[in-house]
Amino acid sequence: MTGAASFKLEIVNGVPVVEVIGEVDMTNSHELEGLLDQASRTGRSTVVVSLSGTTYLDSKGVRLLLRSAERLGLIRQRLVIVAPDGSVPRRILEIAGGDTLPIFNSLEDAIRA
Amino acid sequence: MLARRLFDPRHWTLGTRLVVSGLLLITIVMALTVASYRRAVEERRRAEVDNALVITRTMSATVEAFARDVEATIQALARVLGDQAEPISQAQDGPYLRAVFQEQGLLRTLFVTDPSGRVVASYSGREIGLDLSSRPYIRALRTGISSVWSGRLAGAQSGQVTVAYGSAVRHDGTVRGFLITAFYPAAVFENLPFTVPPDARITLLDDRGGLLFTNQADVLRGRTDFSEVADIRRAMAGEIVVLNIRRGAVSGETRFGAIVPVPPTGWVLSFTRPLGPLEAQLRAEFVRQVGGLGLVFLLAAIALVLFVNRILQPVTALSQVSSAIARGEHPRMPAPTGPPEVRRLAEGMAAMSQAVAERETELQRAEAAQRFLADASNALATSLDAEATLRQAARLVVPRIADWCVVHMVDEDETLHRVEVAHADASREERVKEFARRYPPDPANMRSPTTYVIRTGQTVFLREITDEWLSAAGVDDDAITFVRDLGLRSLLVVPLRARGRMVGAITLVTADSGRYFETDDVGLAEEFARRVALAVDNARLYDRERTIAQTLQRAALPRDLPSMPGIAVHSAYMAGAMASEVGGDWYDAFWLPDGRIAVSIGDVAGRGLQAAVAMGQIRHGLRMAAFEDSRPSTVLSRVDRLLGSTLPEEMVTAVFGVIDPTARTFTYSNAGHPSPILGMANDRIDVLEDRGPPLGFMRTRERGDFVVHLDSGGFLILYTDGLIELHHDPMRGQDALLQAVRDEIRTPSGDRAGAVLRRVLGDAGPRDDIALLSVSLAHEPVSRFDLTLPAIPSALPLVRQSVRQIGQLLGLPDERTAELEIALGEAVNNVIEHAYGVVPGTVHVRGGVEDGALVITVEDTGQWRPPSAAPHTGRGLVIIRALVDEVQIDAEPSGTRVRLVVRLPLTTGLEAGREPELV
């Protein structure tokens, strides 16, 4: 077992959603990266990363999200984050400059956007 | 049944068969003899009959000759009387007649009558003038015939039967008178030229069947006329009648003989003999012969029996001897007597008996040798110490093979040293030791037997130790005196060689027993030496293997056990006192990447190198599997598959479990191993009995996972079966263990594993190896931690676990704790990423409450590197600063220290200075 997180890729209303449950750190960030690539290959304009169930997100994770958003941008895809207001991931994103990414409170908002 | 056996020749003894065959043969010969006698009697009888005929004819010829002589004499005399001129007168012719009469001898009378029948002259001069004209023969002559035979006449004076013969005397054709003579027929038979058997009956009859003569007048009882008898009539007709065993016509008895005619006279001569005497004689002869034969038969039978006995006696004796030999006895061989065949048989048996005895002696020798070797092998097998084995060997050969014995051993460094001296007589042992000490084998002198044997690997055998030999071997006079004093006789030095390497030599000597070594002893000693060498080699090999196995086992057991705030892992290992080999017991505890602790304990059945190797492989397999997927059942299942494909079918049992420090759970799966025991602070004991089959036996089905909660102050004991098999009774062992756990709950120790082992063992030493692992939870949550971890990514979860625990303890809100976790994670991340180059270092993390604040320091011994200019980097410090109340970074050349401070809310009940008990 590597890390204590599970990653899941779902298509919700035609939008690929990567759900991160548990902890994202050095030991498992490559898994998240791989899943984002997979989501990107669906060819949709938007890829959602849901951090609603994420308990740990550090600077590595933030950096990964930012880098992924840039890569998706090159092929005109948008990375959208779901992180409820006041949650630890939301705070970390805000602290570490992740707020340049579009962040929504809920999955519904993100898909709608 | 008995009778049937008795008459069935197949059941007869050889003696009976021989006797019966002999008797049968004799009987046949007898029968043939009897039959031939019958024929002989027949022939004899016929011969007698023939003989009788011959006698009769001879007798008849005699009578005939006599009659012809009478006729010739009378006719010549009649011619003389007729030719003389003078008439016949007594005076003139009387003397002449007398002369003729006397010359004849057998005549009864001789006279001349005139033609009227009156006597005119006689030989005696008497009866002159007697008128005989009435006599038939005169009457016959007066009819004109020239001569006449009278037939039976009654004697004139004697009354005796007389026969007369008359002839006419003619002178010039006229009858001048008649010349008459007479004789007694009996007289004819008085002077027969042969003897007549006394029982023979001779009968002469005249031409009318009148009796002229018989030698057995009494039988005829006065009968004189036999003209009516048929045989006689036939004979009178001129036939020769043979009487062949016929009832006699006269006497009525059975007779044989013949009746023949006597020609000129017309008479008949009968000669018969009674059959009776002949038969009697023949019978007597037969009886005598048969009797003789019977006697011969009897003698032959007796001789046969004696002969058979004589043959069979030695044969019977031999058969008894052979039975005795077959029974394994050693009977005395009878002297070879009897016929050559029996003697040869006896000699053969004697040779066989001797061969059997020799073979038996040989076998006994071989058996004794085998027994000795077997005993020796057993005795040698008792020790696995090379030197002890050699000492044992010396004690084994004395006194069974030699009177004394010296054993030398070649050490690993090729030097020779004396291991043992043994003497059959303990009081002499010192003397031999002194000899061995004073005259050790000279390694440079090839003439020293021990040196020679060690160098060449060849046996030295000296049946007799002579002074010449001793001198030649370079033994000085002093030593020779010593040797003589010890009474050395035979010397035998055999090499101890195993797998081509010399391990020593055994010197065997006979002395006081007066015995000499023989060639057989050489083979036995060499075989013994071979086994000793093998045992020594095994011991050395074993020693080597044990060292390797011990090294392997020590290497396989973890050197450091994980520990963390609130959780302590301890181990204990004790090697079995009885078992000189290492066992396959193991324990293990290690961090999982997610900060949980994995523990395993197990036991590979069997001992020695193989078990140690297998144990190492399994322990390693468990670790590998746990890093893939730490679910205990999955981990064990993977090892199940591994065992199924690669390892021998040794029984392997194990428990694998994961301790989650946060959730305070123990998740485990048991593969046939003794149940882990959970001791809890409230005096409760939980025996974790859920278990599956031993490793390698669960390849198709899923193993189960079981979860127990770990309370504060509780502890978990994992152990191998050596702990509960101390007293041969697992139930008692289990009870002792439970009692120890109970005691341990009441009176806790720092090192639970060691304490439980001590409590269970008491003063006893374990027979088998014992491995123990304890996981203890602190009685109260900890407020401090101190971790030194390798600076690698997997250190992160452990650090975070510790923070989480302390956060919980201090009653921080979850989010606050999470933020602290992230801040600390960033600090440690920085160390992992930047402090060290290619060579990883360590990161030291400490946490605790200081002055109402939670202070965590992260230290490394590497270099502080400022955040790089790469995009999206350098956020770590930003995050740290944003999440904690205070950050302090001290960068020194020797290392960097980052200090994080989080002020605690006042509601936290923990006061500084009141340190909770540390685990």
CB contact under 8 A, B875 and A59: yes
* Alpha-carbon distance A2 to nearest alpha carbon in chain B (angstroms): 6
pLDDT value at position B872? 52
CB contact under 8 A, B822 and A57: yes
Whether the CB of B594 is below 8 Å from some CB of chain A: the reply is: yes
Using a CB-CB distance cutoff of 8 angstroms, which residues of chain B are in contact with residue A60? 829
Using a CB-CB distance cutoff of 8 angstroms, which residues of chain A are in contact with residue B871? 66-67
Distance CA(A102)–CA(B24), nearest Å, equals 142
CB contact under 8 A, B630 and A25: no
Could you tell me which chain A residue has the CA closest to the CA of B800?
A56
Q: Got the DSSP string for B833-861?
A: III-SSS--EEEEEEEEETTEEEEEEEES
CB contact under 8 A, A58 and B883: no
pLDDT value at position B581? 62
Beta strands in B172-210 (DSSP E): 174-183, 201-205
Q: Which are the contacts of B718, defined by CB distance < 8 A and separation ≥ 6?
A: B587, B599, B601, B655, B657, B676, B772, B773, B774, B775
From B186, B168, B170, select the one nearest B178 (Cα to Cα).
B168
What number of CA atoms fall less than 13 Å from residue B492's CA on the CB side? 26
Chain A interface, best mutation among B872, B873, B880, B887, by max A CB count within 10 A: B872
From B636, B630, B582, B572, select the one nearest B608 (Cα to Cα).
B582
Q: Got the DSSP string for B705-724?
A: -EEEE--TT-EEEEE-GGGT
Q: Which of A1, A26, A55 sits opposite B592 (nearest CB)?
A: A1
Using a CB-CB distance cutoff of 8 angstroms, which residues of chain B are in contact with residue A55? 818
* Alpha-carbon distance B624 to nearest alpha carbon in chain A (angstroms): 11
Instruction: Measure the CA dihedral A30/A36/A42/A45, to 10°.
Output: -150
Q: Which of A1, A23, A92 sits opposite B879 (nearest CB)?
A: A92
- Is the peptide bond prior to B399 cis by the omega test (within 30 degrees of 0)? yes
- Tell me if ipTM is over 0.90: no
From B618, B752, B575, B615, select the one nearest B679 (Cα to Cα).
B752
Q: How many helices (H) and strands (E) does chain A have?
A: 4, 6
From B63, B81, B85, B89, select the one nearest B166 (Cα to Cα).
B81
| Residue B843 CB-density burial (10 A; 0-12 exposed, 13-18 middle, 19+ buried) | buried
Per run of 10 residues, the mean pLDDT along chain B (length 919 residues) is: 72 79 83 82 82 86 87 88 86 88 85 90 87 87 87 71 88 88 84 78 85 80 80 85 70 80 85 81 78 81 81 78 80 74 80 82 83 83 78 81 87 81 83 83 81 88 84 78 84 88 88 84 88 84 76 77 82 71 83 86 81 84 89 89 67 91 88 91 86 75 87 89 76 85 85 88 77 85 76 80 81 84 87 75 85 87 60 72 87 85 65 40
CB contact under 8 A, B793 and A55: no
What number of CA atoms fall less than 13 Å from residue B124's CA on the CB side? 7
Could you tell me which chain B residue has the CA closest to the CA of A68?
B872
Chain A interface, best mutation among B879, B884, B887, by max A CB count within 10 A: B879
pLDDT per position as a tens digit, A11-29? 988 899 999 988 887 777 8
Whether the CB of B843 is below 8 Å from some CB of chain A: the reply is: no
Q: Which of A2, A55, A60 sits opposite B593 (nearest CB)?
A: A2
pLDDT per position as a tens digit, A27-83? 778 888 888 988 988 888 899 999 998 888 888 888 888 888 888 888 888 999 999
* Alpha-carbon distance B627 to nearest alpha carbon in chain A (angstroms): 6
Q: Cα–chain-centroid distance for residue B512?
A: 39
Which two structure tokens, joined as six digits, stand for B179? 């010349």
Distance CA(B304)–CA(B300), nearest Å, equals 6
Could you tell me which chain A residue has the CA closest to the CA of B595?
A3
CB contact under 8 A, A26 and B594: no
Q: Cα–chain-centroid distance for residue B618?
A: 53
Determine which helix (DSSP H) or strand (DSSP E) holds B120, and give its type and residue range: strand B119-122
CB contact under 8 A, A26 and B592: no
Task: Please report, for residues B612, B711, B740, the alpha-carbon distance to residue B678 in angstroms, rounded to integers and kept in the order given.
Answer: 28, 10, 12
Chain B interface, best mutation among A6, A24, A26, by max B CB count within 10 A: A26
Which two structure tokens, joined as six digits, stand for B853? 């604040």
CB contact under 8 A, B879 and A95: yes
Chain A interface, best mutation among B634, B812, B875, by max A CB count within 10 A: B875
Ranges of H-type helices in B84-124: 90-104
Q: Which of A4, A66, A95 sits opposite B878 (nearest CB)?
A: A95
DSSP annotation of B11: G
CB contact under 8 A, A96 and B879: yes
From B339, B426, B248, select the one nearest B18 (Cα to Cα).
B339
3-state SS, residue B384 = coil
* Alpha-carbon distance B883 to nearest alpha carbon in chain A (angstroms): 9
pLDDT value at position B245? 66
Instruction: Measure the CA dihedral B96/B118/B159/B231, to 10°.
Output: 90
pTM of the model: 0.44
Using a CB-CB distance cutoff of 8 angstroms, which residues of chain B are in contact with residue A67? 871-872
CB contact under 8 A, B818 and A88: yes
Could you tell me which chain A residue has the CA closest to the CA of B832?
A26
pLDDT value at position B698? 61
pLDDT value at position B910? 44
Distance CA(B815)–CA(B803), nearest Å, equals 12
